Structure 1
Amino acid sequence: MMHIPGYRVIRKLSQGGMSTVYLAIQISVGRVVALKVMSPHLSSDPAFGERFQREANIIGQLSHPHIIPIYDIGEHDSLNYIAMDYLSGGTVHERMAKEFTVIDALRVTREIATALDHAHEKGYIHRDIKPENILFRADGSSVLTDFGVAKAVAGGSRMTNAGQVVGTPHYMSPEQTRGKPVDGRSDLYSLGVVFYEMLTGSVPYQGDEAVAIAIKHLSAPIPILPPHCHAYQLIIDKCLAKDPDQRFQRGNDLAAMIEALETAYRTGVTATLAVTPPGAGALFKALLATFFHNLRWRMQSVLNKREEKEKDRAWFQPGDTHYAVLTDGAGEAQATVVASPSAQITQFQATAITQKPRGKRRVVTAILIGLTALAAGATWFGYQPATPDTSPIAVVEQATSSARPQFTAADSSSSHNGNNPIQNWIAETLVVEDEPVVVVPIVTSSVETSSASSAQSSEAPPPPQQYQLVVTTAPEDARVRILNIGPRYEAGMRLRPGPYHIEVSHPDYITHTKWITISDSDMHSVVTLKPTLAAGEKFTTKLINGQQSPLMVNIKPGTYIQGDDNHANTSPAHPVTVQKNFAISQYEITFAEYDVFATATYRPLPDDNRWGRQNRPVINISWQDAKEYTEWLSEMSGKVYRLPTEAEWEYAARAGTTSSWWWGDDPKEAQGSANCRRGCNSSFSGLFGTKTAPVGSFAANEFGIHDTAGNVAEWVDDCYAEDYLLQLAQQPGGSCEVRVVRGGSAKSTLEQIAATFREGINAETRSEHIGFRVVMEID
């Protein structure tokens, strides 16, 4: 048995490739702990010891009820160990194999979202959110564990060995699989995958290999939940958005939305249900209900698979009572059918898809005719509405698959004509083609009350107070949207108290979003948008030392074809969309610019190979040197500078062209356009010698950027893979030994300075032919 001084080891709890966890007692205080001991065969590798120590240091800086606490860290006989809280309730993965309810899934997701918010606030990204890393205490509360691959948001950690995947493929965000820099929103994506799995029992994207799974995370549509979970589709959509800007921006935002659902469940809502004996009419209505419920689910699945189609999610507000209730034969509620986005329900907020396929009028008309005929058939069978049971029913969770639903009208406005509730329901919901129908899953439980209280429950409660909302924008013609409700924003519109997510946008300005809360008075919010830079606009940023940043060029978003199928390491050619503005340095970083950084950070000046310094591109610097320069530049400017990604670099180098070089496909035009050894006819390089040219010695491409072909090859942020299929599955930056360089150098041939040409170079290499340029993120 394992022996650690100060601990009495009871038994082994689990074992992994890096460590073994034991149940133990901390003798000094008599405390039961989980003792995590690093595997002996890893003790000789300092990198693993450093990672083990790093996990303890990170957890030690975090204090949150849903993050595992540590009590001690030490080393004995070359074995590193951490003593932490013992969690006896097992993992989410183990719980899902037994009994796991929707309420459990909501609670766990909310608790872990708050834990992540705390970690992100402290500057740490977990990077490995999965069911196995979420454990339970004896009281049922969930706890986030295993910060072994966590990373500081602004850190440059190199602690993961080359070839080792950071994260688990089924739960990795698109940016994580592509090797892009990640922030806290990547963890929220992973948590969304876990939430989906807790609801459905399976992960959203599956495949035989890690690469296949990664590609699905990058390009496959967001999966649609089964009908009994439709109320949570908006949460899934926001968690699993491909673009981090479209996700929840903080863990607390996700937790707040879930808390609203949980509050609604606890509060409940009363509705009048009718109990009818089974018969031809009841069976017919059950068939009709099942038909419509599944029809909508299948139509929604088709809509979600339509690529490049925008989804508009509408939320309903509590208050109105225009709805019908699906019940089973015993009178238990199965689902609420909401008539339109303008209708409002009292039990909880729901989602609706307003996107409709082509030919929708014919489809809806056909459905109308069919359902009307079915409704007429119900009348022919002699259906009569049953005498309502006046017992109030508390609204709870979801429909069961074995239930046989039937319709009962529940409209406190008494606005229907006629005595057939199915016909009334069809008239209210389907004849308006421009508004969708929503099936909101619910569960009911009976509450025994006196006849007096039952009579009171049938009366509609007084509507809550509403307050005016006015959003004043600059510019005045900016568009205002309220993202978490269905109705369109209108100045002075009246809203109930609660949180509202405001988005203000304009084509020539940076979109701004924020949450506001209406409490007990009118709300006036003022939003001033920042103008975007024009395409090709050049600028510098003043540094705190009084100097200027490198000259930057603003690049607008766009789509292009990356790669070239004629070469193995540049295939397959595939479309890439640059979704946000970014700025890239007009020239390669010069000695004059780099030397300021080297002097300020007390590092040796790189050798210029006797070619000259000042406005010549800096050379003899490693990938890490370049990375640290961007971090220093960020600190000095207050902006976010970094190395370009491969996708950004090629997009800027191509400058909107599809040719081999930015100037075209004619090799003869290389003269005067690039500095290379063979084919460029450059005065700086030839068969008998090569050297770099001062930056800007050759013409710029259509984006106004110089020297993207030749002169010096340029480090980019990405890890190198042998083709783009493998590249898509690469781990985030900072975790590999071989990095990509682009653009070719003065020693390259004409073919090697093509826009698509790429090489893999060891990140520690310092070469006279490799430099870099930088990117600045635009707010």
Structure 2
Amino acid sequence: MLKTSEWIGRELKGYTIVELIGSGSMADVFLARQPSMNRWVAVKVLSGALVNDSQFVARFRQESQIVAALEHPHILPVIDYGEAEDTPYMVMRYVSGGTLQDLVQKGPLPPKEVLRYLNELGQGLDYAHSLGVVHRDIKPKNILLDTRGNSFISDFGLAKIVRGGSLTHSGVGMIGTPHYMSPEQGRGQVVDGRSDLYSLAVIVYEMLTGRVPFDADSAVGIVMQHINDPAPNVTRIASTLPPKLDPVIARALSKNPDDRYPTAHEFTDAVAEAFGTAVVNGPVISRPPLTAGHSKKDTWSARAMRTLSNFPQNAGQRRGPMLLMGAGVAVLAIVAALWGSGVFASATTATPTATQASVAQASPTSAPTTAVPNTPTSIPPTLTATPTLVTNVPIVPTPTSEPGNAISPKDGMELVYIPPGPFLIGSGENDPNAQTDEKPQREGTMPGYWIDKYEVNVGQFQLFINETGYETQAQNPRGSFGIYVDMGGVVFSPLGTNYVLNAYYLFPEGGGGEQTEALRAVVMVSYTDAKNYCEWAGRRLPTEVEWDRAARSNDGRIYPWGNELDPADGTRANYCDRNCRFVQRNTNADDGFTRTSVVGSYPAGASPFGVLDMAGNVQEWVDTLYDPLGFFIFPTPNPNGTQYITRGGTWLDKPTGIRASSKTRYAPYERNNITGFRCATSELP
């Protein structure tokens, strides 16, 4: 019998276990890869505590066969069954859009969405009931959603198995989940399909009002309300609903199964009639899950967004470690909005080359430019995204084509040559705000290299997505841990620091925010995402020393332009000025932006080599592991840590946070709305 962690990396007859995505008292659920079909699947493995119960194992096998026979478009299909290490497992379709619970936790759903889900779930339940299968645990958490918002009933049969074993739910010897449990379930009586329809009615009540009809301090208290108390009218909770709904919902929640609607179809028709409309079929959801994203634990544990209450709201702090230490967690729920129809449109033709899209805009005025090599790279095989195409917008600022600079034929980026020579890295005595990990100041020499003049922008990143089909870790959180196993990322905003489901590079603040512009610096990208982009572009991430020298030359200056930042000067960098709504804002300066800026907007803030945006706007990934000792030992051997450094400060930082030597660190899978990147290369062809 294997421990849960020992399943990771195992081969199960054509399936490779990748990571744990859900765990409960009865089973563990793993994300797995099926190479023969080039797809992800979910593998449910019976809990080690139950594998020695022969009756339980036999029933698990029997139930897997029953569920496999339920071929319906709104029932999660079971693909395979097997046994390994004397432990049975089921292989199921991997559904990546979260759960219905993710939606209802935000509040009431629009009537069209309610009717859609009622219709889909009702069809699935009527079908299962026609074959004599009763679910017994219908609840929003067990309703999975795909990336188009289609719903799937999952976890058939588990409650029936538990009933025959020694385990019970909620410590009261009853089968099911108290908030969604029928009165006959609460009494421990034999149930049929009408019990599932009662649970479905509770879900409809919750979708309409944003709350369940019965709640109490204990599971027993909730069950007793289901048995004895009438449900409050839905119009009492949501006064804008039509009064005709009250008798419909009341009948569906009748205490006596004989008084309920006999089928979900009849219940659905009654709800539609109360709304004065017909049943809605198909994708009408107004806030669907992110296209081609892969939610991991949300699919099984129904988490949508977490408020990390202990984040610092002042700038210049070490946000990475604070994130890992986040304390209070409150489920709030934000779901991504539909992609806008302005800058980004669905691809219908072949993706243009970067040369066509951007290099053609360059108008050299002096020396000719040199092409950066187009080095092929291998992108991880998670390419399930439907690419979108950037159309009718410039994707990079028009290059200045200064003598000695180069233009990449891959993404149109202008590269600046940093000649070989001496450098100073770290903060000196002239910087009173220097932190321990920035000290002491060291000197050395280094060979020449090339570095991007600008931070990579959204349009350039979209070219990469179009050409490769790559999914960012915000869309497909493969290889992530902790809170980052969910789709989305951390969003810093004046309202707090939140983990927002479905925030990603096009909507860096999630569905409640605006779609970003093509010329702004790309954010919501992890170290892994940035590294893949740079490899695709024929370059790499810069090291910390390379980044530092490009920003500060060899004189150890505090900012790229010198040692001072005039408090009233908004021309050198994008930082927390009067447009910023954080407490640390500087009301004397106006840099023109409230969040990320268009790259290259501050030529007065250029480094001695002419590299732009190395202070403020977005902090940038570098390919160097963090060492808390700073430069005490230099050159620093690769430390044993697992966090990578970001440099340069952000749009929410005060002046001390955008000092050139300021640094933060994150795990390679972390992503947020303040971190971007630029690339570098050692040589041109």
TM range (shorter): 0.3 to 0.5
Higher Rg: 1
Q: Which has the higher strand share?
A: 1
Greater RCO (CA < 8 Å, at least 6 residues apart): 2
User: Given the two structures, how large is their TM-score scaled by the length of structure 2?
Assistant: 0.36
